[in-house]
Amino acid sequence: MKKLLILILIVAMALSVLCGCGSKNDEQKEYIGIISAMDNEIDVLLKEAKIERVDTIAGVDYHIGTLHGQSVIITRAGIGKVRASSGITAMFNRYPISMVLFTGIAGGVAEDSQVLDVVVATSLVEHDYGVISNEGFVWRSGDPGIGNRTGEYYNCSPELVDLAYTAAVEIVGKERVHKGVIATGDQFIASESYVQRLRDDYDATACEMEGASVAVVCINYGKPFVVIRTLSDMADGNAHESYENFGDIAGANSSHIILKMLESIDN
């Protein structure tokens, strides 16, 4: 009996040492976090990546592996601000993340843009954050204590913005790439009048449903980030039809920009 107990203790100690070493190595290794809202926004990346394992956290799959020589974690968090912020928060809490790249599609807002143009966010704003009273909707800024802001806008990392812009120019050509404000809200915009409001009130270049919420979490965790969007529609009355025709192409374009960026990132 005594020999059996000694053997059990030895095995337990050995397992403890092995587990401890694994945890230390995992902590030393940092990953680039790549997040999207939909499957067609990361399909290209998953096909190119060498995935070592897939962790499922709260129903969301996190694909861990390498992509163009970089250690990455790729996830589709889901559509909308709540799912996006939940997905990126879970990523930060579970893995050591060095930076975040958001890839996907958006609706065009700027007058000089067109479908399949690329918008690299310099900053993001929540266009649906505010108060609805008898007088209508009044926009309010978010938490005034959040840093890395200009007024009420969440700023992307200038270095990542430059990398993304350069990569986008190589992929689609300079005439198809824009830098600017991306407006985030929990609505699919298909209204010419609301597009005009986004131009007038926020100087927006594009609109989508996740970017600003991811930006807030990245700022809170002190991690650099950038949001890259290819336009699948012009957020007008034809937005749904345009998305059906160009959504997959637009998602793939943003993924190819991510791939090009990874060649230049020193992580």
Domains and CATH numbers, the chain: 30-262 (3.40.50.1580)
User: Can you give the pLDDT of all 267 residues of the chain as single tens digits?
Assistant: 444 444 444 444 444 434 433 333 455 789 999 999 999 999 999 999 999 999 999 999 999 999 999 999 999 999 999 999 999 999 999 999 999 999 999 999 999 999 999 999 999 999 998 888 888 887 776 555 554 444 589 999 999 999 999 999 999 999 999 999 999 999 999 999 999 999 999 999 999 999 999 999 999 999 999 999 999 999 888 888 888 888 899 999 999 999 999 998 886
Q: Indicate the pTM of the whole model.
A: 0.85
Q: Which of 152, 233, 236, 263 is catalytic?
A: 233
Q: Are strands 31-36 and 130-133 parallel, antiparallel or unpaired?
A: unpaired
Q: Which of 41, 117, 208, 210 is catalytic?
A: 41
Question: Residue 8 has what pLDDT?
Answer: 41
Q: How far, in Å, CA of 168 to CA of 91, rounded? A: 26
Question: Residue 265 has what pLDDT?
Answer: 87
Query: Where do the H-state alpha helices sit in the chain?
Result: 2-28, 43-48, 81-94, 158-172, 192-202, 211-221, 239-262
CA nearest to 57, candidates 31, 18, 83:
83
Question: Residue 22 has what pLDDT?
Answer: 36
**261 neighbors 179 (Cβ within 8 angstroms):** no
Q: How far, in Å, CA of 84 to CA of 238, rounded? A: 26
Q: How far, in Å, CA of 261 to CA of 252, rounded? A: 14
Question: Residue 238 has what pLDDT?
Answer: 86
26, 208, 214 from 230: Cα distances, Å: 34, 11, 17
Spatial neighbors of 154 by CB under 8 A, at least 6 apart, are 123, 124, 125, 146, 148, 212, 215, 216, 219
109-114, long-range: CB within 8 Å, 24+ apart, which pairs? Answer: 109/183, 109/195, 109/198, 109/199, 109/204, 109/205, 109/206, 109/207, 109/235, 110/178, 110/180, 110/199, 110/204, 110/205, 110/206, 111/199, 112/178, 113/178, 113/205, 113/206, 113/231, 113/234, 114/231, 114/234
* 52 flagged as catalytic: no
Query: Where do the H-state alpha helices sit in 66-210?
Result: 81-94, 158-172, 192-202
* 41 flagged as catalytic: yes
SS3 state at 3 = helix
